[in-house]
Amino acid sequence: MPVCVVSYFNMKISLNPRLRFQDGWNDGRDERTMVKMDSVSFLGPVRNGLCRCSAVTRVSICLTIGWFGGLTASDASDNLACIMKPYIEVSIGSPVEGMIQAVHVERGDWVIKGQAVVALEASVEKATVVLAKAKAEAEATIKSTQAKMAFSARKLERATDLFKSNSIAKHELDEAETERNLADIAHLEATEKKHIDGLEWQRATAALNLRTISSPLNGVVVDRLLSPGELAGKTPILKLAQINPLRIEVFAPLSLLGKVAPGMKADVHPEGHAATTYQAHVTIVNRVVDSASGTFGVRLEMPNPNNALPAGLACTVKFHLAR
């Protein structure tokens, strides 16, 4: 069994590596490590085979930590310390600058994806939408050009008959044909303008929609940073977190490198819920090792139905290693 021996000046203390730790730790690689402590308090207990020491006040003390004995994969995988984090954390801002008219949620409120959470002052944008809608729905110009098209068609038909009977000159027939062509062009222009007016209405509506900010996820409001009357811009207005599922972050010792793989199952015991075992699976195994601590990062995903568990809890995890 590994033994952590810490010498403080001429004093030596041996600690049981199965107990709980607090702050700073050695690298766990059979090396002696100089650790700068923040207090002269007694050393805390140890966990995960990593020697840790408690620290509260600001007193610069150097302790020499010796690590004797190695970790087996079985020991290293037994109740590794971890922390439960939100699956997604987002800071909600505004895509446009404007004065905040209302914030519909407070810290701790639950929100659903697509729910309106913030409204900006939008009187100008609303008026622009009304005007654009009126232009897009106007029919007078279209009907006028249609009437001119029908009249010019009849006039050209009469002029053609008169020209065949030599009742009018050639230039009068040309005038009737030109008038018909101009009427067709005027109608085409009116049709294109109506289409453009419709696009302007869509643009005005999109600009108005930007004044309403919606939640991008199902989750909880972590904090509200701005209030009605303040100017929204680059500063986030709300912080939201999705906690179903939860992310489990753990730093595993090097003895588990190559043994932990994505998809592997694990048992999680949250702080305050030690009697309950939750199932999680590995999603990411960091391939970059922290040489100072002799550990590598592992991320797991754990279902959290009904958002029963809060994020931020300390926990322990035990991987289902292949025997």
pLDDT in tens, 258-291: 999 999 999 999 998 878 999 999 999 999 999 9
One domain for residues 111 and 128: no
Which 3-state string (H, E, C) describes 127-162?
Answer: HHHHHHHHHHHCCHHHHHHHHHHHHHHHHHHHHHHH
Full residue range of the structural domain in which residue 35 is found: 3-70
- Counted residue by residue, the chain has a size of 323
Residue 78: HSE in the Cβ half-sphere, 13 Å Cα cutoff: 11
Does 227 share its domain with 115?
A: yes
Structure tokens at 189: 């222009």
pLDDT value, residue 79: 87
| Position 210 pLDDT exceeds 90 | yes
Is the model's pLDDT at 55 over the cut of 90?
A: no
Q: Are residues 250 and 315 in the same domain?
A: yes
Q: Is residue 133 part of a domain?
A: yes
Question: Which of 33-42, 118-127, 253-262, 299-308 bottoms out in mean pLDDT, i.e. has the lowest?
Answer: 33-42
**Pair 129, 105 in one domain:** no
Q: Sorting pLDDT into bands at 50, 70 and 90, what band is 77?
A: low
Determine the average pLDDT of the residues in 118-147: 96
pLDDT recorded at residue 17: 37
- For residues 112 and 144, state if they share a domain: no
Does residue 95 sit in the same domain as residue 215?
yes
Question: For residues 64 and 311, which has the higher predicted lDDT (pLDDT)?
Answer: 311
Residue 75 inside a domain? The answer is no
- Fill in the amino acid letter for 153: A
Question: Contact, 275 vs 120, CB < 8 A?
Answer: no
How many helices and strands in the chain, by DSSP H and E?
4, 16
pLDDT at 239 over 70: yes
Q: How confident is the model at residue 68 (pLDDT cuts 50, 70, 90)?
A: very low
Share of the chain above pLDDT 90, in %: 72
Q: Is pLDDT above 60 for 13? A: no
Q: Within 10 A of 104 (CB to CB), how many other CB atoms are there?
A: 15
Residues 295 and 177 in one domain: no
User: Does 184 map to a domain?
Assistant: yes
Confidence of residue 37 (pLDDT cuts 50, 70, 90): very low
142 and 257 within one domain: no
Number of folded domains in the chain?
A: 4
- The residue whose two tokens read 């279209």 is 142
Last residue of a domain, one of 176, 200, 224: 200
Helix (H) or strand (E) holding 206: helix 170-209
232 and 251 in a single domain? The answer is: no
Query: Is residue 94 located within the same domain as residue 234?
Result: yes
Percentage of residues in the chain having pLDDT higher than 70 = 76
Q: Tell me, yes or no, whether 205 lies in a domain.
A: no
Same domain, 215 and 116: yes
**Residue 206 is assigned to a structural domain of this protein:** no
Q: Are residues 7 and 64 in the same domain?
A: yes
